[in-house]
């Protein structure tokens, strides 16, 4: 039987796009800088508009090569695309972000509406900037990307962000899929470590094994882990995207760690480099 694409992640994407649009429709100064980043609000919004269009094209079955799948390659592709797209008006970009997210949702809805014999299988791989993934994971990818840059824009405007437990949980399929692709080899080379990670308030646990510069991720706890890390969901997401440091998370009491080597917890995010 062909599975259906997770409607919750589609709905979360639409809601997140609207949340970001509300921020941009407050007419912020496009040149306002994002704290701790090189981009302005206008640049982040333009990047979201472009990325959401790319994701909609992918969901519709169109090939869209973008970078080489590495953090450095994606950063270079981002720079090129922004240089070729001069629009920085927040209201115009708000409309584009929402429109492209709706197109993304419509492409996936069209898959569900097709007769079973004609329907694209959600488990079939799509080529994306972060490697092949099924439609559920692609939707999780779009959500993760929107939340990260939406958080940045909210911070720049000193307004509440839109990240919550449900949206973090829906981002996990992409985060777990992407983790082996974003290993920081300089930090992870020579390491042989086993972590079990999870979100506070959830019984789900995941294993991450680092072996000399590579990472293997499983949807079950690592056997005899060196360190178990349980994080408050929003903190977990911000750590994964490099928006919060381990020291900040520990200072807030947002991480619990135990196991044979609990002191390995603060180093865990440093073995990965978010695009």
Give percent of the chain above pLDDT 90. Answer: 84
Least Cα distance to 220 among 242, 197, 239 occurs for 197
CA dist list (Å): 206 to 145, 179, 241, 258: 21, 12, 18, 15
Pairing of strands 192-199, 227-231: parallel
Can you tell me which residue has the tokens 């405007």?
157
* Predicted confidence (pLDDT) at residue 141 exceeds the cutoff of 50: yes
- DSSP string covering 90-145, please? HHHHHHHHHHHHHHHHHHHHHHHHS-TTTSPPTTS-B--TTS-B-HHHHHHHHHHH
- The three-point CA angle 273-69-103 to 5° equals 105
- What pLDDT score does 224 carry? 96
Position 3 scores a pLDDT of 46
Q: What predicted TM-score, i.e. pTM, was given to this entire model?
A: 0.93
Average of per-residue pLDDT across 156-179: 97
57-116 tens-digit pLDDT? 999 999 888 988 788 899 999 999 999 999 999 999 999 999 999 999 999 988 665 554
Given a cut of 50, whether residue 1 has pLDDT beyond it is: no
Predicted confidence (pLDDT) at residue 2 exceeds the cutoff of 80: no
Are 213 and 183 in contact, with CB atoms under 8 Å apart? yes
Go through the domains of the chain in sequence order and give each one's CATH number. 7-178 (1.20.120), 183-271 (3.30.1050.10)
Contact partners, residue 274, CB within 8 Å, separation at least 6: 71, 182, 240, 241, 242
Q: What is the pLDDT of residue 71?
A: 82
Separation between Cα atoms, residue 54 and residue 258, nearest integer Å: 41
- Which DSSP category does 88 fall into? -
Q: Which of 53-62, 109-118, 177-186, 245-254 has the lowest mean pLDDT?
A: 109-118
Tokens describing residue 183: 């290993």
Instruction: Tell me the C-alpha distance between 112 and 107, whole Å.
Output: 9
For the cut 60, the answer to whether the pLDDT of residue 161 exceeds it is yes
- DSSP character at residue 189: T
How far lies 20's CA from each of 10, 30, 139, in Å?
A: 16, 14, 17
pLDDT (average), residues 177-205: 96
Instruction: Strand 255-258: give its sheet, edge to edge.
Output: 214-218, 205-211, 192-199, 227-231, 255-258
Q: Mean pLDDT over residues 150-168, rounded? A: 97
pLDDT of residue 46: 98
Sign of CA dihedral 207, 67, 78, 94: negative
What DSSP character marks residue 33? B
User: Tokens 């972000």 correspond to what residue?
Assistant: 97
Confidence of residue 124 (pLDDT cuts 50, 70, 90): low
CA distance 252 to 155: 18
């Amino acid at each position: 039987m062909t599975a259906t694409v997770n409607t919750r992640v589609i709905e979360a994407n639409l809601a997140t796009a609207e949340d970001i649009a509300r921020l941009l429709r407050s007419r912020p100064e496009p040149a306002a800088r994002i704290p701790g980043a090189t981009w302005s609000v206008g640049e982040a919004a333009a990047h979201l508009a472009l990325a959401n269009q790319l994701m909609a094209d992918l969901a519709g079955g169109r090939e869209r090569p973008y970078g080489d799948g590495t953090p450095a390659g994606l950063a270079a592709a981002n720079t090129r695309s922004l240089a070729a797209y001069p629009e920085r008006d927040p209201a115009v970009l708000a409309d584009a972000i929402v429109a492209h997210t709706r197109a993304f949702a419509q492409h996936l809805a069209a898959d569900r509406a097709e007769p079973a014999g004609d329907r694209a299988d959600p488990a079939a791989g799509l080529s994306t900037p972060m490697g092949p993934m099924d439609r559920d994971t692609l939707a999780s990818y779009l959500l993760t990307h929107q939340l990260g840059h939406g958080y940045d824009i909210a911070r720049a405007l000193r307004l509440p962000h839109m990240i919550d437990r449900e949206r973090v949980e829906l981002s996990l399929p992409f985060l777990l899929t992407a983790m082996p692709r974003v290993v920081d080899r300089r930090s992870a080379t020579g390491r042989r470590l086993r972590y079990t990670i999870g979100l506070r308030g959830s019984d789900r646990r995941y294993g991450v094994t680092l072996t000399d510069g590579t990472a293997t991720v499983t949807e079950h706890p690592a056997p005899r882990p060196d360190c178990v890390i349980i994080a408050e969901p929003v903190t977990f997401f911000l750590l994964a995207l490099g928006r919060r440091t381990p020291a900040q998370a520990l200072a807030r009491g947002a991480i619990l760690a135990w196991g044979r080597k609990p002191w390995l917890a603060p180093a865990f995010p440093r073995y990965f480099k978010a695009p």
